[in-house]
A and B are shown apart, each in its own frame.
Chain A
Amino acid sequence: MDYTLLIVQMLNGLQLGLLLFLVASGLTLVFGILDFVNLAHGSIYMVGAFICASLTLWLGNFLLAVVIALPLTGAVGYAIEVLVARRLYDKDHLDHVLGTFGLILVLDTLAHMIWGPAGITVPLPAWLDGQVEIFDGAVIPTFRLLIIAVGLAVAGGLFWLVNYTKLGMLIRAGASNRTMVAALGVDIQTLFALVFALGAMLAGLAGMLIAPITTASIGMGGQIIITAFVVIIIGGIGSMKGAFIAALLVGVIDTMGRSFLDSGFALFMSRDAAETAAPAVSAMMIYILMAAILAFKPQGLFPPKVR
């Protein structure tokens, strides 16, 4: 076994997991607290990427672009809550799915009109564009390290917000009994809109961080939203801790599966068969993981007790 490759791939898995966490954290808050299924959460991820891409090209500074794009994406989320989501909370899940699927089409088309059909490449500043040698022979792009650092910092910040601030207490209280929270004098509707905007900002941040690696493109949201749902289902819907652990689990297992499954299979089948089977199985790994976890814990790993 090549340990250098293993470690590099672990870091790649960690990076993917943290990006997934950024998307899943908002999704799990909104689903857990508002019981609202938001398929368009991935589109906000795309919107964040595009806004950041345009700003980067205009300002010539990626980090500054991210700083400006964050509140803009949050504002897009707030607008979506007020204009669309708020009207759907009382309806059932099918209506949420239909409504937010419509939103995906609208946002994709808007992106198409504003930014055109081709993806936008986001240039990185030189100091982020290089590579770092972590130890002998193990080289990892600097930018991926930045993603890991930002992901961990955001996770820490969210943990603090949810567990130790009054806003976090209200968010948890609202998840269990919104009528009572309102009867005690809290404007729960505005609170929910803020949560929604916060979730949008985090999804947008994930889009901004992935754009320099893959480009900002239409449809990028569709790829991540499915995985993000897998993450929150594994973690337990509404649980921030669950989303974090599940995101890392999914990120690492997915990355590891893609890089090592073929050599694993080759141990007990022919090289050709292994090379055919491995990609198919590795694409299924996270769903197999989800099924396995749900078989033992139908509510996910950390179902929040809200009732």
Chain B
Amino acid sequence: MMLKISNLTTHYGPSQALFGLDLHIGTGEVATLLGRNGMGKTTTINSIMGIVPASGGSITFDGVELVGRASFKTANLGLGLVPEGRQIFPNLTLEENLIATASNHLKQDNPWTMDKVLNMFPSLQDRRKFMGNLLSGGEQQMLAIGRALMTNPKLLILDEATEGLAPLVRQIIWDALALIRETGTSILVVDKNLKDLLRLADRNFIIERGKIVWSGTSDELRADREALHRYLGV
């Protein structure tokens, strides 16, 4: 397993957000993390990345323990984050957003370059000199994905991949994720568009109140009407 989370607990001060969460992603796999708002999806991602410190349990990535590890060191193991709210640097141009944190710590072959990112998202091409805060939501999301890819991750983590975006832009994002998957990059994705997600995913995890309550393949989830209704309200 590339990423293996076992019995993870996370607290915000005295209140507990994750209650012994288990999750795993294999090399080259696409996994989804599903669940209603406030169930702990972002907390799970932030715990993996070391943005929020886990209070117990274990997260290993290629055998390296991530709990207690500084955020930047975790990222440099090959985890690329596309955060909730995109968090583009507003005072940097689109180009600078891509370059500033670009790296290839794992010395991957065929690393991502600015040209590759701009080829994948052609609409960014003529926005290169625009400041981050002047980009549309869709452009920012494409940029956030490109920015994470420029760190040449083995696992791309997307928190709310298409939230608040127009259908056309969503399609661009899903197409891009399919492309990224073909390069062998693993993906952990949080989103609400179940139909698109299930088409992409190998494995799905449903989180409720800080615990994984259901996991299985996309076919299994499509067939399990009760789980869909009970945990996702569809």
Q: Which of B81, B87, B131 contacts A177 (CB 8 A)?
A: B87
Known: A179-B51, A179-B71, A180-B83. A186 touches B101 (CB 8 A): yes
Chain A residues positioned under 8 Å from B71 (CB to CB) = 179, 182-183
The contact sample of 18 A-B pairs, CB cut-off 8 A, is A169-B99, A169-B100, A172-B89, A173-B96, A176-B90, A176-B92, A177-B87, A179-B51, A180-B83, A183-B72, A183-B75, A184-B75, A184-B81, A185-B75, A185-B101, A185-B151, A186-B101, A306-B90
Chain B residues positioned under 8 Å from A179 (CB to CB) = 51, 71
Q: Which of B87, B91, B99 contacts A180 (CB 8 A)?
A: B87
| A12 and B183 alpha carbons, distance in the complex (Å) | 62
Is B148 an interface position by the 8 A CB rule? yes
Interface centre among B81, B87, B89 (most CB of A within 10 A): B89
Is B76 an interface position by the 8 A CB rule? yes
Known: A181-B101, A182-B72. A176 touches B89 (CB 8 A): yes
Min CB–CB distance A77 → chain B (angstroms):
22
Min CB–CB distance A211 → chain B (angstroms):
36
Chain A residues positioned under 8 Å from B55 (CB to CB) = none
- Contact A185 B76, beta carbon cutoff 8 Å: yes
Chain B residues positioned under 8 Å from A177 (CB to CB) = 87, 89
B: number of interface residues (CB 8 Å) = 28
- Contact B91 A306, beta carbon cutoff 8 Å: yes
Q: Which of B70, B75, B92, B131 contacts A173 (CB 8 A)?
A: B92
- Contact B100 A166, beta carbon cutoff 8 Å: yes
| A172 and B93 alpha carbons, distance in the complex (Å) | 11
| A37 and B202 alpha carbons, distance in the complex (Å) | 51
Which residues in A have some Cβ–Cβ distance to B below 8 Å?
166, 169-170, 172-173, 175-177, 179-188, 304-307
Chain A residues positioned under 8 Å from B60 (CB to CB) = none
- Contact B51 A169, beta carbon cutoff 8 Å: no
Min CB–CB distance B69 → chain A (angstroms):
12
| A182 and B83 alpha carbons, distance in the complex (Å) | 12
- Contact A187 B72, beta carbon cutoff 8 Å: yes
- Contact A183 B49, beta carbon cutoff 8 Å: yes
Q: Which of B90, B97, B148, B151 contacts A305 (CB 8 A)?
A: B90
- Contact A184 B91, beta carbon cutoff 8 Å: no
Known: A179-B71, A185-B101. A172 touches B91 (CB 8 A): yes
| A306 and B50 alpha carbons, distance in the complex (Å) | 23
- Contact B99 A188, beta carbon cutoff 8 Å: no
Q: Which of A180, A183, A185 contacts B89 (CB 8 A)?
A: A180
Binary CB contact string for chain B from 52 to 76 against chain A (1 if under 8 A, 0 otherwise): 0000000000000000001110011
Q: Which of A169, A187, A188 contacts B92 (CB 8 A)?
A: A169
Chain B residues positioned under 8 Å from A305 (CB to CB) = 90-91, 131, 133
Is B147 an interface position by the 8 A CB rule? yes
Interface centre among B83, B91, B147 (most CB of A within 10 A): B91
Min CB–CB distance A29 → chain B (angstroms):
14
| A56 and B116 alpha carbons, distance in the complex (Å) | 54
Chain A residues positioned under 8 Å from B133 (CB to CB) = 305
Binary CB contact string for chain B from 77 to 111 against chain A (1 if under 8 A, 0 otherwise): 00011010001011110001101110101000000
- Contact B72 A188, beta carbon cutoff 8 Å: yes
